[in-house]
């Protein structure tokens, strides 16, 4: 974390999903900075519906126990795990916008982590959709799991995938 932060365009172009990490956990003050930056995500109704929970050893053991045995080792990939969720508004329109905002917050956290030289991975393991896993992660009845964010020191480079030409995804309407 001694490298200078990347510029926005470079961070957007070079962030990748990593599945191998160094062993050092991300310091709590860095996690706090990342979540503070994530909270600047656009949010139409200013509900700030995102929630982040850093997984400690007891919670990790409970998540492993709640899921299938073959999935437990994936929870050991990164030294720092963060459960990301969204508070679900009773109004379906607001709930949809809030989920989009919370997803933007997760992406902001991943970009901020990458800009600090950290590796990251956003996935939604089945255990977070299971009642026992939800309970282990502290998810309330009014929350939907967005996923588990794996963070840690960069251990390997990841291939840059090809991208579709912008002309295939952009259209200017009359």
CATH number where 88 lies: 3.40.109.10
Residue 50: pLDDT above 90?
Answer: yes
Residue 161: pLDDT above 90?
Answer: no
The confidence band for 169, taking pLDDT boundaries of 50, 70 and 90, is confident
The confidence band for 8, taking pLDDT boundaries of 50, 70 and 90, is confident
What would the mean pLDDT of 34-54 be, rounded to a whole number?
94
The Cβ of residue 94 has, within 10 Å, a number of other Cβ atoms equal to 15
Residue 163 lies in a domain: no
What would the mean pLDDT of 22-47 be, rounded to a whole number?
94
Residue 15 lies in a domain: no
Q: How many domains would you assign to the chain?
A: 1
pLDDT at 120: 93
Residue 148 lies in a domain: yes
The confidence band for 5, taking pLDDT boundaries of 50, 70 and 90, is low
In this prediction the pTM is 0.88
Residue 13 lies in a domain: no
Range of the domain at 87: 24-152
DSSP one-letter string for 18-61: ---B-SPPPPHHHHHHHHHHHTTS--TT----EEEEE--HHHHH
Q: How far apart are CA 33 and CA 88, in angstroms?
A: 25
Sole residue written with tokens 């390997």 = 156
Residue 134 lies in a domain: yes
Residue 3 lies in a domain: no
pLDDT at 108: 94
Residue 167 lies in a domain: no
Residue 174: pLDDT above 80?
Answer: yes
The confidence band for 2, taking pLDDT boundaries of 50, 70 and 90, is low
Residue 12 lies in a domain: no
What would the mean pLDDT of 143-153 be, rounded to a whole number?
95
Measured on CA atoms in the order 24, 29, 34, 39, is the torsion positive or negative? positive
């Amino acid at each position: 974390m001694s490298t200078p932060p990347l510029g926005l365009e470079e961070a957007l172009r070079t962030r990748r999903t990593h599945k191998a990490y160094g062993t050092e956990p991300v310091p709590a003050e860095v996690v706090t900075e990342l979540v503070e930056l994530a909270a600047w995500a656009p949010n139409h109704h200013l509900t700030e519906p995102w929630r982040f929970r850093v997984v400690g050893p007891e919670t990790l053991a409970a998540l492993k126990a709640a899921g299938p045995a073959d999935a437990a080792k994936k929870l050991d990939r990164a030294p720092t795990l963060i459960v990301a969720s969204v508070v679900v508004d009773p109004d379906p329109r607001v709930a949809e916008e809030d989920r989009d905002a919370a997803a933007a917050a997760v992406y902001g956290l991943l970009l901020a982590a990458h800009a600090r030289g950290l590796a990251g991975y956003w996935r939604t393991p089945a255990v977070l959709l299971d009642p026992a896993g939800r309970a282990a992660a502290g998810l309330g009845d009014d929350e939907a799991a967005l996923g588990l964010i794996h963070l840690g020191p960069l251990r390997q480079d990841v291939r840059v995938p090809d991208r579709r030409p912008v002309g295939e995804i952009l259209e200017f309407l009359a």
